[in-house]
Amino acid sequence: MNTPEPQRLWRKSTYSGGVENNCVEISVLDGRIGVRDSKAPAAGHLTLTRRDFADFLAHLRP
């Protein structure tokens, strides 16, 4: 018997919305951080270590 994968909690960026409705969502996935496009969740996601995610965010900040 296969147990269905639990529903993961994806959180939308607080900067999302606006006119273009460009949205990024993140989720904790087995100790790593998942990043996906909220308009195309079935297209998959990037998986980053917590350190790589922190570096990614630092790079995005002005």
**pLDDT, block means (10 residues), the chain with 62 residues:** 57 70 84 90 93 92 77
* CA separation for the pair 6, 52 (Å, rounded): 25
| Residues linked to residue 46 through DSSP beta bridges, in sequence order | 35
Q: Are 33 and 27 in contact (CB under 8 A)?
A: yes
Q: Are 47 and 34 in contact (CB under 8 A)?
A: yes
Q: Are 22 and 11 in contact (CB under 8 A)?
A: no
The predicted structure's pLDDT at residue 43: 92
The predicted structure's pLDDT at residue 17: 63
The predicted structure's pLDDT at residue 29: 87
